[in-house]
Structure 1
Amino acid sequence: MKLGKADIPKLEEYWINYDELKGQLAYRRYELLYQPQDTNVGGGKSNITSSPVENEVIKLHKDNKYRNLQATIQAIEDVYRVATEEQKAIIHYRYWERDLLIYEWEDIAHELTKRRSDDKVISQYSVIRMRNQIMRNTAKQIGWIHFD
């Protein structure tokens, strides 16, 4: 299965909003664990376990939004950890640093070429291929697509 044209911008949005996603995850955790909820409306004794740690794990695991945020953040961190130095530079220039002088694909290619110790030139198309690989790896980690 291949990534569609609409998939790459959405995956890039995850990379751009990485810090915001971490904030949303922390807030969702707060909502689930520390907002008072009256679940015993009819009275009687609940059959929920009394261990606070188990209750927290169950609440977090049952919530789809929390699990999706956590999976997305984990995917970004995993892909970044195993990325090459050139891929990490692309991530920083394009998604995290937001330096307007080094944002377009040609500018990133120029910066990557300057970093090389040999005389090889990196084209903007090579940079886009590296970006596509980053997005494919992210989609695979999240579980959007599977490559056989």
Structure 2
Amino acid sequence: MRIIERYDIRKLEDYIINIDQYRKELKMREYELFENHEPDNPGGGKSNLPTSTIEIQTVRKLSDNRYVLLSNIVSGVDKLIVNAKEDTKDMIRLRYWECPIGCYEWEDIADYFGTSKTSILRRRNSMLLELADYIGYV
């Protein structure tokens, strides 16, 4: 069984907390990749690059490490949320996005669900391990 370290927990939770920011960065990176400020063929001659715009876009996306990382993060968090059970979705919402008064600590969330802090933290760890698998976090 894999063990999740403290710094891994912080990073994976950051992905969940700031998912909207990561979506914006992904869109911005996509814009940067496809906005062409240089002439297509400045020296003339025939290029050996693919001529299909879809092929060109796919090659640019997959060859850019930042775009691939952001895409993995966004798709991983989205997949986690879609595949999560209702109580896990509530836990994510309460802890990371909509922190109502009295739900800032894990003890408060455990009280909300009527369980212990240890069981809530176990659920959190399993959720974060699932997210790590989805995004390829090593």
The TM-score, its normalising length taken from structure 2, stands at: 0.89
Change (3 A) 1:5 1:38: farther
Superposed displacement of residue 135, structure 1: 0.6
Note if 1:127 corresponds to 2:120. yes
Superposed displacement of residue 74, structure 1: 1.0
Note if 1:144 corresponds to 2:137. yes
Partners of 2:39 and 2:131 in 1: CA distance? 38
Structure 2 residue runs without a partner (length 5+): none
Partners of 2:136 and 2:47 in 1: CA distance? 36
Give every structure 1 segment of 4 or more consecutive aligned residues whose post-TM-superposition deviation is greater than 6 Å.
none
Partners of 1:16 and 1:63 in 2: CA distance? 24
Superposed displacement of residue 100, structure 1: 4.3
> 1:17 is matched with which residue?
18
| Equivalent runs, 1:96-107 vs 2, <5 Å | 96-107=97-108
> 1:117 is matched with which residue?
none
Q: Deviations over 1:30-60 (max 9, x none)?
A: 0001242457565433211211121111111
How many residue pairs match? The answer is 137
| Equivalent runs, 1:48-67 vs 2, <5 Å | 48-67=49-68
Superposed displacement of residue 25, structure 1: 0.4
RMSD over aligned Cα, in angstroms?
Answer: 1.8
The TM-score, its normalising length taken from structure 1, stands at: 0.83
Structure 1 residue runs without a partner (length 5+): 114-121
Partners of 2:86 and 2:113 in 1: CA distance? 10
